[in-house]
C-alpha cells in the first residue's frame, strides 16, 4: 500500500502534521485510529476533546516493532514475549506497567498503558516517520461505532481532525483484544480481533473481567 505514490504523499503530510501539534486519523489492521505524538501534551489534549473522551480514560499506544515494548514498559514479563511472538503484529493490545517515557497524560495518571504493534503498512510508516510510538485510540466519538473507512471517520469527526489518511477499508473491522498483563495473572479486558481461546492457549488460565 505504501508503494502507491498518493499514499506516500499522504503519509509524508501526516507525519508533518503530527510533528506540528496536529492530530491525524489513519487506517490500521482493525479500525481507523486517531493519532498524535504522545509526547505532545497539546495534541493529546485535542484527542480527548475531539472524541469527547473522558480525561480519566487512558489512551493506547501503537508501536512499530516488538522491541519498542522495552521503551514503553517498566517491566516486560515473560508472558508478554510469548503473546507478542504469537500475535504481533496484529489485533492484540497488551496492558503493561508503563515506563517513565510514557507521559501521565496518556495513562490518565495511572501506572499502566495499553500497547500493540499493528499489522498495517500505513500505520507502521506513520510511527517510523514520527520517530516514536503514536496514540492509537479509535477515530470515533466516544460511545459511537469505531469507523472502518475514511468516510465513516469524516461522518463522525468532520473537520475536527487535521488530516484523514484514506487507506481504504480496514481489513479487520473489529477492535483489538485487550489483555492486562500488568499484574500476576493475565486478564482479558476486552474480547475483539483475537479470540479468547487463542489467548488462553498461550497463557493458560485467564481471568476474564465481566
Lowest average pLDDT, out of 4-8, 92-96, 146-150, 182-186, goes to: 4-8
pLDDT in tens, 42-56: 999 999 999 999 999
Name the average pLDDT for the chain. 94
What domains are defined for the chain?
5-208 (3.90.870.10)
Given a cut of 60, whether residue 198 has pLDDT beyond it is yes
Which whole number is the average pLDDT over 14-35? 97
SS3 state at 159: helix
CA–CA separation, 41 and 27 (whole Å): 23
Crossing angle of the two packed helices 196-203 and 78-87, in degrees rounded to 10: 140
Burial class (CB in 10 A: 0-12, 13-18, 19+), 37: buried
Given a cut of 50, whether residue 2 has pLDDT beyond it is no
The pLDDT of residue 4: 65
CA–CA separation, 175 and 154 (whole Å): 19
pLDDT in tens, 144-196: 999 999 999 999 999 999 999 999 999 999 999 999 999 888 999 999 999 99
Distances (CA, A) of 32 to 29, 84, 98, 129: 8, 22, 24, 18
The pLDDT of residue 185: 85
Confidence class of residue 91 from pLDDT cuts 50, 70 and 90?
very high
Cα 116 to chain center, whole Å? 6
Strand partners, 177: 92
Reported for 44-48, long-range contacts at CB under 8 A and 24+ positions apart, including other chains, are: 44/103, 44/105, 44/106, 44/135, 45/105, 46/21, 47/23, 47/135, 47/137
Confidence class of residue 3 from pLDDT cuts 50, 70 and 90?
very low
Residues 8 and 121 sit within 8 Å (Cβ to Cβ): no
The pLDDT of residue 209: 63
> Which of 179, 91, 100, 183 lies closest to 136, judged by CA?
91
Amino acid at each position: 500500500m505504501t508503494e502507491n505514490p498518493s499514499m506516500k504523499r499522504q503519509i509524508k503530510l501526516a507525519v508533518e502534521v503530527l510533528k506540528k501539534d496536529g492530530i491525524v486519523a489513519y487506517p490500521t489492521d482493525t479500525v481507523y485510529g486517531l493519532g498524535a505524538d504522545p509526547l505532545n501534551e497539546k495534541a493529546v489534549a485535542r484527542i480527548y476533546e475531539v472524541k469527547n473522551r473522558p480525561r480519566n480514560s487512558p489512551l493506547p499506544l501503537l508501536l512499530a516493532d516488538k522491541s519498542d515494548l522495552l521503551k514503553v514498559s517498566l517491566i516486560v514479563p515473560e508472558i508478554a514475549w510469548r503473546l507478542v511472538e504469537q500475535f504481533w503484529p496484529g489485533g492484540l493490545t497488551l496492558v503493561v506497567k508503563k515506563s517513565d517515557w510514557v507521559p501521565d497524560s496518556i495513562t490518565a495518571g495511572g501506572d499502566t498503558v495499553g500497547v500493540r504493534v499493528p499489522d498495517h503498512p500505513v500505520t507502521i510508516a506513520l510511527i517510523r516517520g514520527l520517530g516514536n510510538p503514536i496514540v492509537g485510540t479509535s477515530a470515533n466519538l466516544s460511545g459511537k461505532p469505531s469507523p472502518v473507512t475514511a468516510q465513516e471517520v469524516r461522518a463522525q469527526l468532520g473537520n475536527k481532525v487535521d488530516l484523514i489518511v484514506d487507506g481504504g477499508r480496514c481489513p479487520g473491522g473489529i477492535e483489538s483484544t485487550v489483555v492486562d498483563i500488568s499484574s500476576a495473572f493475565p486478564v482479558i479486558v476486552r474480547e475483539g480481533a483475537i479470540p479468547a481461546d487463542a489467548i488462553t492457549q498461550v497463557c493458560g488460565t485467564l481471568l476474564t473481567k465481566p
